[in-house]
Amino acid sequence: MLVNQADLTQTLFVCDTRKLASNLATNTKVIAGDVFNLKQVQQAVQGQDIAKLRMY
């Protein structure tokens, strides 16, 4: 899995950081924001090689 590769960084864009597990991989960056705010989403994915949007 990509998350297990130390030379890669994953960025999580979430609305509520309290719902995240406390044992995130060390190569994880967390950004809190509103998925319905286009500017926030654009800023979060800037410079990312892969972006996946999941809303539920």
pLDDT at 56: 66
Cα torsion 15, 1, 10, 45: sign:
negative
pTM of the complete model beyond 0.85: no
Classify 17 as helix, strand or coil: helix
> ∠ CA(8), CA(44), CA(1), 5° rounding?
30
**With 90 as the cut, is the pLDDT of residue 48 above it?**
no
Instruction: Tell me the CA end-to-end span of the chain in Å, nearest whole number.
Output: 23
pLDDT at 37: 95
pLDDT at 26: 86
Average pLDDT of the segment spanning 38-47: 94
pLDDT tens by residue, 2-30: 667 778 888 899 999 998 888 888 888 89
What residues does each domain of the chain span? 2-45
The span from the CA of 22 to the CA of 47, in Å, is 26
